[in-house]
Amino acid sequence: MAETTYSSDVRWRYKGRRSSFEKVGPLELVWELAGDPISDYYLAEETSADELWSQWIRWVRDGEHYHSDLGAPWVLISWGVSGSEEGTYEYAPHQHAPFDGDNFLTFYMHPVNADTGERVNWLRLPVVDKLWRPGRSDKGGFIQEVSGFKPHALQPAVDLRVFEAAGLSIT
């Protein structure tokens, strides 16, 4: 039986579609909830995760920044594929609009395991932990830090009511 998530040590081989270059290294999925880049202007040493949570929830609610198809209380999750050691970052394939245009497979061939030749199963790539604590001010990391929430690979949206399970106010 296959593992449910690949080890972060697995090296993937992928070639450029427009040139002959080839990259080999780990790949991971990076998630972003709509509006979570508000943390770009702060550092964890200066602003708490709780403060950013309050700002973010207000932004979502006041501007009605909900998923365009699902509406309230659903918030869009967008995905990127990062090759941390290779400097690669592109939108992940197999997402819903508005991210269904150019993506990783537009620029690269389908990745294969560098040791076994097995094609990547996108749903088994590791999903990054995004944190918000001294020394680690990840974009949007305040959400995982405050709530414990981390989406499943390529999950398209989250219902805000799930955050009530963490005892958080969503109003």
pLDDT digits (tens, 9 = 90+) for 120-151: 999 999 999 999 999 999 999 999 999 999 99
33 contacts 75 by C-beta, under 8 angstroms: yes
- The residue whose two tokens read 């708490």 is 48
pTM confidence score: 0.92
pLDDT in tens, 39-85: 999 999 999 999 999 999 999 998 888 988 899 999 999 999 999 66
The pLDDT, as a whole number, for residue 106 is 93
For 10, 48, 64, 77, the CA distances from 61, given in Å and listed in that order, are 40, 20, 5, 16
Which of 83, 87, 103, 102 has the alpha carbon at shortest distance from 26? Answer: 83
Q: What percent of the chain has pLDDT over 70?
A: 95
The pLDDT, as a whole number, for residue 97 is 64
The pLDDT, as a whole number, for residue 30 is 96
Cis upstream peptide for 73 (omega within 30°): yes
Element of type H or E holding 124:
none
The pLDDT, as a whole number, for residue 98 is 66
- The residue whose two tokens read 């398209």 is 156
The pLDDT, as a whole number, for residue 87 is 78
Neighbours of 96 (CB within 10 A): 16
Beta-carbon contacts of 81 under 8 Å, excluding residues fewer than 6 positions away, are 27, 28, 29, 30, 88, 89, 90, 91, 92, 93, 103, 104, 125
pLDDT in tens, 93-126: 998 766 668 999 999 999 999 999 999 999 999 9
Which of 138, 116, 120, 137 has the alpha carbon at shortest distance from 128? Answer: 138
The pLDDT, as a whole number, for residue 155 is 95
pLDDT in tens, 10-21: 999 999 998 888
The pLDDT, as a whole number, for residue 100 is 67
Task: Return the ∠ at Cα 115 (arms to 6 and 91), rounded to 5°.
Answer: 50
